[in-house]
Homo-oligomer: A and B are copies of this chain.
Amino acid sequence: MVVVMKSGSAAADVQRVVERVSELGYTPHVSRGQFRTVIGAVGGKDPQSREQLEQLPGVDNVMGIALPYKLASREFHEADTIIEVKGVRLGGPHVNVIAGPCAIESRELLFEVGAAVKKAGAAVLRGGAFKPRTSPYSFMGLGVDGLKMLKEAGDQLTMPTVTEVMDPRDVEEVAQYADILQIGARNMSNYNLLMEAGKAKRPVLLKRGLSATLDEFLMSAEYILSEGNDQVILCERGIRSFGGEARFMLDVSAVPLIQERSHLPIFIDPSHAAGRRDLVPALTLAGIAAGASGALIEVHSCPDRALCDGPQAVLPKNFERLMEQVRQIARVVGRKTTDWNGSSE
């Protein structure tokens, strides 16, 4: 840390800071400038230190230097983390698409959409059984029945599956049926859920909160990692902004920024960002061109009858065309699209 004193602060104030810095376990280094004195604090690690020092008399501000997360950082783990689920490798040089309906509405729909996305090259099947809804009066998913359908579809199509878990009490059961646990944007700071997911033996797909900074996002990943689960996949899904033209604003710069700071794979979710299917292709391709490890795309064969988020679901035939462009752009930015229909490219 660097403690910056106010201009003209008293010698006694500087002395008090130096003593407190030592008391907190750091080594102080004082540099006196023309107008201000600055005290470097090196070596300690009390997480409350910064807040406490900020309050001492004569202190203007305290600037942190150390990263707040450890296990999620590139400093801790330099190479890209690659997560392997039933033969599909996510992260590193690989680009993969996770696709399926928003909610599992019926067995028929799930199998129909699943077969279509598999054929087009999607690597992982998604489908919601527990749905977080803004309104308590909306369709909330089929629950465990939906989980069973998802497992069956994944087995039959030989695709790993991902589904959302919203309640710490459900983690164990969801992990029995799904290959990857998803934690949604609204639960990114639901720390008890994160810790429970950290104890599960499944990879976790963690979505960025609607107004989370990237450091807060990585801190949420750190919660999972610190419980012993090192298989975390990050996902940028759009942040809240003014204007309301798109439902949320996809932050493509999050992709290279996360990759600089962390070894974890970073996906994008164009469907929830856009909220409308006509924007999905442009956002998907933007994310892949920016270097994302892949995309989560909602597909529905009859979206104007969908019980959830129909307006953002892509039709199977449009999904197929989009996948072809994803594949080409992935190649331009030097990524592999192996695992696509079994053939390596």
**In the complex, how many angstroms separate the beta carbon of A315 from the nearest chain B beta carbon?**
11
Q: Does A285 contact B (CB under 8 A)?
A: yes
Give complex CA distance A240, B283 in Å. Answer: 20
Min CB distance A32 to B, Å, is 8
Given A260-B278, A332-B329: A43 and B34 within 8 A (CB)? Answer: yes
Write out, one digit per residue, whether chain A residues 57-76 have a CB within 8 A of any chain B CB (1) or not (0). Answer: 00010010110110000010
Q: B36–A38 contact, CB under 8 A? A: no
A240 to chain B: closest residue by CB: B211
**How near does chain B come to A213, taking the closest CB pair, in angstroms?**
4
Q: Which residues of B contact A307 (CB under 8 A)?
A: 48
Which residues from 1 to 59 on chain A have a C-beta closer than 8 Å to any C-beta of chain B?
2, 4, 7, 27, 29, 31, 33-36, 38, 40, 42-43, 47-48, 51-52, 54-56
Which listed residue, B33, B254, B286, touches A290 by the CB 8 Å rule? B286
Q: Is A222 positioned at the interface, with any CB of B under 8 Å from its CB?
A: yes
Interface pair A257/B241, CB less than 8 Å apart:
no
Chain-B contact segment, one of A91-99, A112-120, A161-169: A161-169
Give the complex CA separation of A305 and B53 in angstroms. 9
Contact B253 A246 (CB under 8 A): yes
Residues of A in contact, count (CB < 8 Å): 102
Q: Mark A260-278, 1 if CB is under 8 A from B, else 0.
A: 1000000000000110001
Bound CA span A4–B251, Å? 27
In the complex, A226→B138 CA distance in Å?
Answer: 13
Chain B hits for A4, CB < 8 A: 2, 65
A144 part of interface (Cβ distance < 8 Å): no
Residues of B within 8 A of A7 (CB): 75
Task: Give the residue name and chain of the B residue nearest to A139 (CB).
Answer: B48
Nearest-CB residue, chain B, relative to A190 = B190
* Cα–Cα, bound, A66→B109 (Å): 31
B253→A273 contact, CB < 8 A: yes
Give A60 to B283 CA distance when docked, in angstroms: 21
Q: Whose C-beta in chain B lies nearest to the C-beta of A252?
A: B286
The 8 A CB mask of A294-314 against B (1 = contact, 0 = none) is: 000000000111111111000
Q: Is A249 an interface residue (CB 8 A)?
A: yes
A110 at interface by CB-CB < 8 Å:
no
Q: With an 8 A cutoff between CB atoms, is A293 at the interface? A: no
Q: Which residues of B contact A223 (CB under 8 A)?
A: 136
Known contacts A2-B63, A241-B242, A252-B250; is A222 also within 8 Å of B136 by CB? yes
A107 at the interface (CB under 8 A from B): no
If A47-B138, A48-B139 are given as contacts, then 14 extra A-B residue pairs at C-beta distance below 8 Å, sorted by A number, are A2-B2, A7-B75, A47-B135, A48-B308, A52-B304, A60-B65, A63-B63, A69-B135, A133-B191, A134-B216, A214-B243, A249-B249, A256-B282, A285-B332
**Which 8 residue pairs of A and B lie closest in terms of their CB atoms, listed nearest first?**
A33-B42, A211-B211, A186-B189, A289-B289, A29-B31, A285-B289, A286-B286, A211-B240
